[in-house]
Amino acid sequence: MTRTLAISLLTLICAAGPAAAAAAEAEPAPAPIQSMSALAFGPGGVLFIGDSKGGAVYAVELPERQPTEWAEWFTLSDVEGKIAALLGTTADEVMIHDLAADPRTRHVYLAVSRGRGSWGSNWMLPNEAADATLLLVIDGSGAISELVLEPAAMRRVALPNPVDAAKKHPWKDTSLRAETITDMGYDGGVLYVAGLSNEEFASTLWKVPYPFGPGVGATTLEIYHGAHGAFETHAPIRTFVPYRLRGEPHLLAAYLCTPFVTFRTSELADGEHVRGRTLGEFGAGNYPLDMVVYRKDGKDRLLIANSNLPLMIVKPEDIESFEGEILEKPDTYLAGLAYEPRSGTGILQLDALGADSVVALKRMPNGGLNLLTVPVGWF
């Protein structure tokens, strides 16, 4: 889950692409969710659930809840162990696929699976190893409960042409279908959905109008990956946020082995093939996992959690002032835009928790997975 704090306050009329192919319409009686692959919040407290296996996105009207309060520095230790108690199993059988915090009530939602499936490659991600079928809620006291999804409270929209389940990842030997949806973000009447489609250029960005209706647009993406010295179209965006650069709506995105890329959302029209602008190479052998925009001392900052690198802070003004783009293989794995590394490795999930703090799941040195809140003033 990635989201901007600042953008959610803005009302902006999105320059919607020519939705020529009205491929999908909201369905009144939704098919059940097969896999909760990604979570994101939208306007009015609507929770979006991306279903890679089902090739669809759901909008869930959550039951009314009183806002919950979190301590400034809150730690809930061994979250997997506590969820295990709920499921009648042990911590090693619990896997958390995504986390999203409700910006209105500050409840934290987790997509969870029981059983770790069959791990093959060490680089498999949770969605490749199992299907999340449980939605859990954590409040500021650390209490965990299940949210049972009522079909009547959900709307579903199918993504046109999701990647075929028979297609395999070239070296993980997993079905690419698990990567239909890698991340989602809402901005200005549009849910942006990143992942893989069945196109030859598989990396795809779907624009889903919300409230759901006809006119889901799909744009295939291409980037120059400096560390590989090549233009690439097969790897999906791992995490992104909608953000305005000099007032113009963009998506800020990061990929495996960590190229940092911007896309102009006005160019993301249905049926187009768009090349992003690679501004940074942040390091190899790393999944960027989540991005959050927070505001401190009157300035926006982009916070990126990584599988194998520290927390990174990127200044939007550095992105805005960056000239040119990376179009040649750099001498090292690092190039372009600079980031500020912060202590914070092992952060597997990250989201904004209201305007003044973030919530994270962090793998601790003792192997336990802790949920913690961090005030943005600390960064």
Partner 1 sequence: MSPPGALRRSRLAPALIAAALVAAAPSLGAAPPAPSLQFESSPAAPGFGTVAVAGLDPAALARLAASTPTVAEWQEVLAVRVAAGEEVPPVLGRYQVTDDVVRFVPRFPLAAGIELDCRFDGAAFDRLAGPPAAGTPTLAGSFVMPEPPPPAAPTVVAVYPSAERVPQNLLRLYVHFSQPMRRWDVAERVRLLDRAGASVPLPFVEIEGGLWDPLGRRLTLFFHPGRVKRGVGPHRELGPPLRQGERYRLVIAAGLRSAGGGVLEEPFIRELLVGPPDRQSPDPLRWRIVPPAGATGSLAVELGEPLDHGQLLRLIEVVGDGGAAVAGEVTVTGGETRWWFTPDRPWLPGRYQLRVDPRLEDLAGNSVGRRFEEPPGSAAEPPAAVVVPFEVGEPAAVRRVESPGGVR
Residue with smaller CB distance to partner 1, 11 or 118? 118
Q: Is 368 in the site for partner 1 (CB under 8 A)?
A: no
Residue with smaller CB distance to partner 1, 96 or 253? 96
CB 349 within 8 A of CB 305: yes
Three-class secondary structure of residue 128 per DSSP: helix
Q: Are strands 369-375 and 75-76 parallel, antiparallel or unpaired?
A: antiparallel
User: What percent of the residues of the chain are helix, what percent strand, and what percent coil, each to the nearest 5?
Assistant: 10, 40, 45
Touching partner 1, residues 102-131 (CB under 8 A):
114-115, 118, 120
Distance, CA of 144 to CA of 307 (rounded, Å):
25
Three-class secondary structure of residue 173 per DSSP: coil
Residue with smaller CB distance to partner 1, 171 or 200? 171
Residue with smaller CB distance to partner 1, 15 or 86? 86
Q: Which of 22, 71, 90, 327 binds partner 1 (CB under 8 A)?
A: 90
Distance, CA of 54 to CA of 197 (rounded, Å):
13
Q: Is 153 in the site for partner 1 (CB under 8 A)?
A: no
Closest-CA residue to 290 (of 197, 360, 209, 196): 360
Bridge partners (DSSP) of residue 80 are none
- Output the smallest distance, CB 169 to partner 1, in A: 14
Q: Is 97 in the site for partner 1 (CB under 8 A)?
A: no
Residue with smaller CB distance to partner 1, 88 or 324? 88
Residue with smaller CB distance to partner 1, 81 or 341? 81
Buried b (16+ CB within 10 A) or exposed e, 267-284: ebbbeeebebbbbbbbbe
x-or-dash pattern for partner 1, window 129-148, by CB under 8 A?
--------------xxxx--
Touching partner 1, residues 59-88 (CB under 8 A):
81-82, 84-88
- # of chain residues touching partner 1 (CB under 8 A): 18
- Output the smallest distance, CB 93 to partner 1, in A: 6
Residues in the chain: 379
Three-class secondary structure of residue 7 per DSSP: helix
Residue with smaller CB distance to partner 1, 88 or 247? 88
- Output the smallest distance, CB 82 to partner 1, in A: 6
Interface with partner 1 (CB under 8 A): 81-82, 84-90, 93, 114-115, 118, 120, 143-146
